[in-house]
Structure 1
Amino acid sequence: MNRLSLKISLFYLTGIAVILTISLFLVHNHLVDQQVENELERLQQRGDSHRDVLTENFNRTTVSHVVMMEEKALTEVVIMNENGSVEGSSNQAEAYVKDSWLRAPEGIAEDDWRNEQFLAAISPIEGGGSVIMLEPTRQIQSLITELNHHFAIAALLTGLFLVVSLYFLSHFITKPLLSIRKAAGKLSQGDVLTVPETKRNDEIGELARSITKISGDLHQIQQSRKAFLTSIAHELRTPITYIKGYAGLLKKQDSSYGKIIYEEADRLHRLIEDLFELARLEENSFTIEPEKTKMTVFIRSVIERMQPAFHKENISLGITAEQPFYKMIDQKRLEQVMIILLDNALKYTPSQKTVTVSVEKEKIEVTDEGPGVREDALPHLFDRFYRVDASRNRDTGGTGLGLAIAKEIVEAHDAAIFAENTKTGLKITIDLKGVADEEDRTRR
């Protein structure tokens, strides 16, 4: 129910269907009532006409003439004399006369066309007697059935019109909107969008042209940012190298100032290297060279390299692994990702605690026993320069680019990475479902 086309179609179809049903019901009832009323009026007029003739000449000849006229018609007649006896009737219609009709005043004596066999009208004759006109209700029921057929055809044609109109509604309105939505989804990738709907002269065309302009401006901004990152990282590498080198000489002379300068220069050097690495990733100046890798062995080798750092901080680093399996990965790049994740867990896990790496068929999980991350911060954890704690101290004051670099590398493998809080700390998962496990993977 989240698709705009489905919502519009259901709203449109439901609204038209309700209006159509109510309209057909009202029109149908009105036409039926009008038809019955016309038949009753015609029946009354026919009886009044016979009554007028019999009032002037109430004799055997006139009665026979009236009866003969009705024997060939769709209606029947019963002529009563002043004594309440039948003076004459067509087709033995007197058998259908009810006592209640005889006691009825002038006018309609029976109008229940749904349940009764006849409609009846009474026309009293001056001087005594009356003319009773009967009309079989099957005639009206036949007309109503024919009317129902016409309404069924009208409803079918209207339904076909709704289906066709819904198709055009979807084609001319919702389909262009879905196309624009799909194109707009690529904005974050920095691509310049080409939306076909820009040629339209309505509101959808204006929206498409606005999005196209925004995509062009965004692409220009991203290109400028990438160029800036590359330039600033390149320009700063040389002077920082000199500062770090001379600070190292001062540090060897047991100078406290030299030690401080060296540490800060080293932090700045790592920041510049991360900036340079991120710029390379964004410019696609690196290549992923996947090779068939036994994942459990590969992850164990990375953990063995990181064990001394964890041992120094008195933090336990363990691994749980399923049966061996293979994936097509760039070992150097994924090793870089694992080091970033483990280094991040090392910084935020207190002493005497444990960091666990779980290796399964479709995912790798790194779980620490640290303080976790605020829920509102989780969606931004892999953003560039994002820091959960705003303070930049020497213990946890990284560059803010490590997880962003890890995300770029993981996504280059057609994998995904995300973080979530657990009861004991933070868990970062690398989803390997999109990574091939055969050697025929296309090289990038």
Structure 2
Amino acid sequence: MLLPVALLICLAIAAVFALVYSRALTRPIKELSAVTARMATLDPDARCTVSTGDEIGTLSENMNSLYTSLLNSIQELENEIAKVSAAEQSKVDFMRTASHELKTPVTAVSGMLEGMICNVGRYRDRDTYLQVCKDQIDELSVLIREVLDATRLDMLMENQAPTVTDLAALVDQVAAPYRLIARARGVRLTIDGSAGFNAQVPVPLLEKALSNVLSNAVNYTTSGKNVRVYFEKRSLIVENACAPIGSEQLPHLKEAFYRPEFSHSHDTGGNGLGLYITDRILSGCGLPYTFEPMESPEGMRFTINFP
């Protein structure tokens, strides 16, 4: 009689242990299943908390690591897509604005030519207005060249390999035509390359940026005043005496075709692309810069910092 009873007790105990073991084994598996379902929806808070110390615990850690890498990759991809979208939108906006800027002188020249052809009013003085038309066309040629340069910047920055360059010699070379312009405008252009240094830069792009900076400095400097170019530590500094640009306008100088309030005309304000192109070049080359007012002497200071 005792044997069957003992057998039944053993079977009952075995069944209880089997049930407990089964639940202990399936609980982490069920938890993994629930977490993977949340991971499938890219829930950022989904994490496996199973820590059994066996193969299932290792699987849980690997899943967490893999899911974190997946989320990071997705975030990086979304950031890149956003950058590309922003860049494409920027190109669309630029071309739309460029189209408007190009239409303005074309319309003006067309109107003057039509007036001369029809012998209307002041346009009867053809000698005067033919020269005005030529000046407008010359400005248009410069603007078209600047627009083309701006549209090619991305390709140029990808294809231009940096080379070690003597910056003092480069500045002296770029400044050569501006010495003549400065003299004609009654502006003193001084260049001190004694503290110059070498830097690894894409030379053609930096030449363009420096040319724009020097052009602005010479053209905006008051007659009889100075433009000073010099090196300090690992920085190239261009200072010019002029009416300082207001703080509310400074952030807009990087925008295409923006001209400060005091220079909305093409005669004094250029075409508004110089600093836009300069900003894109220096930013693309990883060269931080500042453009800020000076108090003594009154004017503006452009500083490019080299690594």
The sequence identity of aligned pairs, in percent, is: 22
**Secondary structure of the equivalent of 2:281?**
helix
**In structure 2, how many angstroms separate the alpha carbons of the residues matched to 1:325 and 1:411?**
21
**In structure 1, how many angstroms separate the alpha carbons of the residues matched to 2:88 and 2:273?**
23
Q: Which residue in 1 is equivalent to 2:275?
A: 403
Provide, for residues 143-180 of structure 1, a one-character-per-residue CA deviation record: whole Å limited to 9, x for no partner: xxxxxxxxxxxxxxxxxxxxxxxxxxxx959xx9xx99
The residue type equivalent to 2:188 in the other structure is: S
Provide, for residues 9-65 of structure 1, a one-character-per-residue CA deviation record: whole Å limited to 9, x for no partner: xxxxxxxxxxxxxxxxxxxxxxxxxxxxxxxxxxxxxxxxxxxxxxxxxxxxxxxxx
Q: Which residue in 1 is equivalent to 2:304?
A: 430
Q: Which residue in 2 is equivalent to 1:316?
A: 188
Residue 416 of structure 1, CA deviation? 1.8
Residue 330 of structure 1, CA deviation? 2.5
Q: In the alignment, does 2:232 pair up with 1:360?
A: yes
Residue 278 of structure 1, CA deviation? 0.9
**Secondary structure of the equivalent of 2:289?**
strand
**Secondary structure of the equivalent of 1:396?**
helix
Q: Paired residue for 1:192, among 81, 87, 96?
A: 81
Gap change, CA 1:285 and 1:216, over 3 Å in 2? closer
The residue type equivalent to 1:418 in the other structure is: T
Q: Which residue in 2 is equivalent to 1:221?
A: 89
Q: Paired residue for 2:143, among 249, 258, 271?
A: 271
Provide, for residues 205-257 of structure 1, a one-character-per-residue CA deviation record: whole Å limited to 9, x for no partner: xxxxxxxxxx7864653454467689x59x99xx99x99xx9xxxxxxx8211
Gap change, CA 1:339 and 1:271, over 3 Å in 2? same
**RMSD, matched Cα:** 3.6
Residue 304 of structure 1, CA deviation? 3.1
Preserved CA contact (<8 Å) 2:239 2:301: yes
* Unaligned ranges ≥5, structure 1: 1-170, 194-214, 247-253, 434-444
**In structure 2, how many angstroms separate the alpha carbons of the residues matched to 1:223 and 1:307?**
35
Higher alpha-carbon Rg: 1
Residue 379 of structure 1, CA deviation? 1.9
Q: Paired residue for 2:212, among 334, 340, 347?
A: 340
Preserved CA contact (<8 Å) 2:178 2:218: no
The residue type equivalent to 2:269 in the other structure is: G
Higher relative contact order (CA 8 A, sep 6+): 2
Q: In the alignment, does 2:197 pair up with 1:329?
A: no
Where does 1:236-385 land on structure 2 (aligned, <5 Å)? Answer: 255-282=127-154, 287-385=159-257
Q: In the alignment, does 2:282 pair up with 1:414?
A: no
Provide, for residues 115-157 of structure 1, a one-character-per-residue CA deviation record: whole Å limited to 9, x for no partner: xxxxxxxxxxxxxxxxxxxxxxxxxxxxxxxxxxxxxxxxxxx
Gap change, CA 1:216 and 1:336, over 3 Å in 2? closer
**In structure 2, how many angstroms separate the alpha carbons of the residues matched to 1:227 and 1:394?**
19
Preserved CA contact (<8 Å) 2:196 2:231: no
Instruction: Tell me the number of residue pairs that the alignment of Structure 1 and Structure 2 aligns.
Output: 219
**In structure 2, how many angstroms separate the alpha carbons of the residues matched to 1:361 and 1:404?**
26
TM-score (normalizing by structure 2): 0.60
The residue type equivalent to 1:292 in the other structure is: V
Preserved CA contact (<8 Å) 1:358 1:365: yes
Gap change, CA 1:216 and 1:287, over 3 Å in 2? closer
Q: Which residue in 1 is equivalent to 2:30?
A: none
Residue 397 of structure 1, CA deviation? 2.6
TM-score (normalizing by structure 1): 0.43
Gap change, CA 1:362 and 1:219, over 3 Å in 2? closer
**In structure 2, how many angstroms separate the alpha carbons of the residues matched to 1:399 and 1:282?**
20
Residue 270 of structure 1, CA deviation? 1.4
Preserved CA contact (<8 Å) 1:302 1:338: yes
Residue 264 of structure 1, CA deviation? 0.9
